Structure 1
Amino acid sequence: MADHSEATCKQVDDGMARVFELFGKRWTGLIVATLMSGPVHFADLRRAIPGISERMLSDRLMELAGVGLLVREVDAGPPLRVSYRLTEAGLAMDPALKELGRWAETYLADGGQCPQRFRR
């Protein structure tokens, strides 16, 4: 007989699982946040996110393009330059990212840890 207890039946929402599968990867949120202001060339994007390697940036950009959050555009040269911009779906993340930023200012302001007054 199958176990149908409350603990067994309680699962994470599929949509939330998909969001964190993508945005839970290092750099993804920072890339999307950087692109919120408009198209950015690859080199400028890399400079805007200290610590990210060219390979990692390229991989994350391909992944974000693959799920439809950004578009890669080749600018006519010379010199040949590649820029990236968010799609409508990518831009729709703006309110959520701003809310996460506000949450971090309140709850992670002490060097990445919740201040004692918020711990229970």
Structure 2
Amino acid sequence: MKKRQYSCGLDAAVDVVGGKWKALLLWELHHGPRRFGELRRRVAGISEKMLIQQLREMEKAGLVDRKVHEQVPPKVVYSLTSFGDSLNTALIPLGEWGEVHMETIEAIPRD
């Protein structure tokens, strides 16, 4: 397997959290462990297929822990690992910047 090489720390961080949904899922899991259905309801606009894909990628990257409780019906709970929590902490200033500049960002013309 080829080792990834990055040009800077931002390049590496964006590789881990890239895409629309991962940062939103990290933020939601920051509030505590969540079941799959809770995540689907709380992250507006995400499809079930995309949620499954994103959670699998985040678990593979070591950001999220998936715990299966053996019961009927099966209960699966997702939570942040310490690695995921540290990334979430790093994203907080970016979210604050977005809050401050939201009106300006909303006014940017889109194609």
1:18 to 12, 30, 36: 12
In structure 2, runs of 5+ residues without a counterpart are 1-5
Partner SS, residue 50 of structure 1: coil
Aligned residue-pair number = 103
Question: Are the counterparts in 2 of residues 72 and 85 from structure 1 also a CA contact under 8 Å?
Answer: yes
Q: Aligned equivalents of 1:38 and 1:102: distance in 2?
A: 20
1:52 is matched by which residue type in structure 2? I
Superposition map of 1:29-108 within 5 A: 29-108=23-102
Query: Is the contact made by 1:107 and 1:113 (CA closer than 8 Å) also made in structure 2?
Result: no
Structure number with bigger Rg: 1
Identity of aligned residues (%): 34
TM-score between the two structures when normalised by the length of structure 2: 0.82
Give the TM-score taking structure 1 as reference length. Answer: 0.76
In 1, Cα distance between the equivalents of 2:8 and 2:51?
A: 27
Question: What stretches of structure 1 of length at least 5 have no aligned partner?
Answer: 1-11, 115-120
User: Distance in 2 between the 1:36 and 1:113 partners?
Assistant: 29
The structure with higher relative contact order (CA 8 Å, sep 6+) is 2
Task: Give the CA RMSD over aligned residues.
Answer: 1.8
Residue 14 of structure 1 and its aligned partner are, at CA, apart by 3.3
Q: Which has the higher helix share?
A: 2
